C-alpha cells in the first residue's frame, strides 16, 4: 500500500512564516489599543431603566435594529456590575436545550427519567450569580419560544433552578429586520419588560472616542422601602379599581401581542417597578419607559397620569393656608390642582372657603402661567352666593381672565373665517 509522506518545509517557507509572526504581534497590540476604552458617569435614561429592571430581578427584552448596540450594552453592563456574562443564541438551540435532555438512569421505573440541563446552566448555578443574555430572541421558532417559558418566569432548565443571583436579559430585532424572524408568542412576551433600544448620537460619538456611559445599579434608600411599596400598591390598585377593563387586555393584533400588554402578571411587574423607582428616586422619564414597557403604551400612560394625581397637594390643605400654598410647577399638574380646589369648594361651599380659593388663584397668577386660572376662575365665580361679597383680590384676576377670554373669542372668529 502507498504510504503518506508529509510535505517538506523549504527554508523559504520557514523564513516567510518567521516574517509574518512579528507582524501579527504588532496587529494584536493595535487591536488591544482599540479595545482599551473606559467609562464615565453620564445621564442615560434607557441605561438607567435597564439597570433598575435588572435590580428588580425582572426579565428585560431590548428591542432594536441590528447594529444599534444591544449586545455591547449588555457586555458593558455585566462588566460594570461585576456579573459574569453568559450569552445564549436562542435561535440556534433546540427546545430540549432549555427544557432539558432526558437521561435514563439505572432504574427508570423507580427513579424516573431526569432532565439534564445544558452546560451553561450548570456553570451559572456553580457561580451562584451572573447575567444570562438570550440573544436573537425574535429569530427563535415557536417551539423554542415555548421551551423558554419556564426559563424566563420560573428560572428552571430541566431539573435545575437558577439561583437568585442570576439576572435574565434578552435582545431581539423587529420582525421586519430579523433574519427569518418570528413574532414573539403572547405568553413569552408577557413575561418581559420591553425596552425600545435606540442610539444616542452623543453617546455613540463619545463612546467611539473611548468613553462610554457607566451602568450602575440604582441606590435604594432603605428609609423609603415601606413607603415605596405602599405608594406602588395604591397607584396600581387605585387605577385598576377605577378602570377594571385594564386588568387584562390581550391585543387582537399579532404584532402587538408580541410586545407589552396588560395582564395580572404584567401589572405585578409594573407595581414592582414603581416601588423600585420610588425607592431609588428615579426620574419620571425612566419610570415612563419601564411602566410602558410592562403594560403597554395606553395603560402605561394612564398609570403615569394616576401617579401624577397622587402627587397633587391636598385641596383642603391648600384652602386652609392659601398664603403658604406650594403649587406644582408643571402646567398640567397646576391646572389639575386648581380644578381640585374649585371642586372642593363646590362640594362644601362657604364664604371663607370661597375667599381662600380666590387667594389661591391669585397666587397661581403670580407664580405661573396666567391662562391656567381662566377656567377655574370662571367656575369659581359661578359658585358665588348672593350674600357673599366679592373679595378685593378678585380685581387682580379681572384683567387676566378678560384678556384670555378675548383671545379665545378672537381665535374662534379666525377659525370660523378660515
The pLDDT assigned to 407 comes to 43
- What pLDDT score was predicted for residue 108? 64
Amino acid 203: pLDDT: 82
- What is the per-residue pLDDT for 404? 46
Burial class (CB in 10 A: 0-12, 13-18, 19+), 274: buried
Q: What local confidence, expressed as pLDDT, does residue 234 receive?
A: 92
199-213, 263-277, 342-356, 368-382 — which one is most confidently predicted on average?
A: 263-277
Encode pLDDT of 386-412 as tens digits: 888 877 767 666 655 554 444 445 455
- Per-residue model confidence as pLDDT tens digits over 253-306: 887 889 999 999 999 999 999 999 999 999 999 999 999 999 999 999 999 988
Q: Look at residue 248 in the predicted model and tell me its pLDDT.
A: 95
Residue 5 has pLDDT above 70, yes or no: no
> Percentage of residues in the chain with pLDDT exceeding 70?
85
pLDDT of amino acid 275:
96
pLDDT of residue 51: 93
Predicted pLDDT of residue 363 = 86
The pTM score is 0.74
Of 102-111, 228-237, 306-315, the one with minimum mean pLDDT is 102-111
Confidence check: pLDDT of 195 > 90: yes
Mean pLDDT computed over 42-67: 91
In the chain, what percentage of residues exceed pLDDT 90? 33
pLDDT at 2: 55
Please write the tens of the pLDDT for every residue from 151-163: 998 898 877 899 9
If you average pLDDT over residues 215-225, what whole number do you get?
89
Amino acid at each position: 500500500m502507498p504510504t503518506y509522506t508529509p510535505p517538506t518545509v523549504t527554508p523559504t517557507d520557514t523564513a516567510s512564516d518567521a516574517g509574518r509572526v512579528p507582524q501579527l504581534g504588532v496587529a494584536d497590540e493595535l487591536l488591544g489599543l482599540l479595545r482599551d476604552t473606559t467609562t464615565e458617569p453620564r445621564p442615560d435614561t434607557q441605561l438607567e431603566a435597564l439597570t433598575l429592571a435588572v435590580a428588580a430581578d425582572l426579565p428585560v427584552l431590548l428591542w432594536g435594529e441590528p447594529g444599534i448596540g444591544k449586545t455591547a450594552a449588555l457586555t458593558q453592563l455585566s462588566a460594570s456590575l461585576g456579573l459574569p456574562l453568559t450569552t445564549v443564541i436562542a435561535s440556534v438551540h433546540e427546545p430540549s436545550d432549555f427544557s432539558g435532555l432526558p437521561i435514563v438512569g439505572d432504574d427508570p421505573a423507580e427513579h424516573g427519567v431526569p432532565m439534564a440541563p445544558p452546560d451553561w446552566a450548570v456553570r451559572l448555578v456553580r457561580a451562584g450569580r451572573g447575567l444570562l443574555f438570550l440573544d436573537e430572541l425574535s429569530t427563535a421558532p415557536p417551539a423554542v419560544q415555548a421551551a423558554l417559558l419556564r426559563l424566563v418566569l420560573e428560572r428552571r432548565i430541566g431539573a435545575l433552578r437558577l439561583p437568585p443571583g442570576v439576572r435574565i436579559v434578552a435582545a431581539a430585532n423587529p420582525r421586519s429586520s430579523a433574519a427569518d424572524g418570528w413574532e414573539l408568542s403572547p405568553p413569552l412576551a408577557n413575561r418581559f419588560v420591553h425596552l425600545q433600544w435606540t442610539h444616542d448620537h452623543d453617546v455613540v460619538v463619545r463612546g467611539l472616542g473611548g468613553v462610554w456611559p457607566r451602568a450602575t445599579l440604582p441606590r435604594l434608600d432603605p428609609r423609603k422601602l415601606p413607603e415605596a411599596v405602599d405608594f406602588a400598591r395604591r397607584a396600581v390598585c387605585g387605577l385598576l379599581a377605577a378602570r377594571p377593563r385594564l386588568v387584562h387586555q390581550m391585543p387582537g393584533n399579532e404584532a402587538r401581542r408580541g410586545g407589552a400588554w396588560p395582564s395580572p402578571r404584567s401589572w405585578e411587574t409594573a407595581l414592582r417597578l414603581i416601588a423600585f423607582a420610588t425607592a431609588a428616586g428615579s426620574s419620571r422619564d425612566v419610570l415612563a419607559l419601564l411602566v410602558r414597557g410592562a403594560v403597554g403604551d395606553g395603560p402605561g400612560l394612564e398609570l403615569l397620569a394616576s401617579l401624577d394625581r397622587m402627587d397633587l397637594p391636598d385641596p383642603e390643605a391648600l384652602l386652609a393656608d392659601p398664603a403658604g400654598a406650594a403649587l406644582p410647577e408643571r402646567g398640567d399638574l397646576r391646572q389639575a390642582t386648581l380644578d381640585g380646589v374649585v371642586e372642593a369648594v363646590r362640594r362644601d361651599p362657604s364664604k371663607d372657603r370661597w375667599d381662600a380659593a380666590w387667594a389661591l388663584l391669585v397666587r397661581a397668577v403670580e407664580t405661573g402661567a396666567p391662562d391656567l386660572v381662566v377656567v377655574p376662575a370662571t367656575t369659581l365665580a359661578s359658585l358665588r352666593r348672593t350674600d357673599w361679597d366679592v373679595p378685593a383680590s378678585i380685581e387682580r384676576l379681572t384683567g387676566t381672565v378678560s384678556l384670555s377670554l378675548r383671545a379665545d373669542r378672537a381665535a374662534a372668529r379666525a377659525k370660523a373665517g378660515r
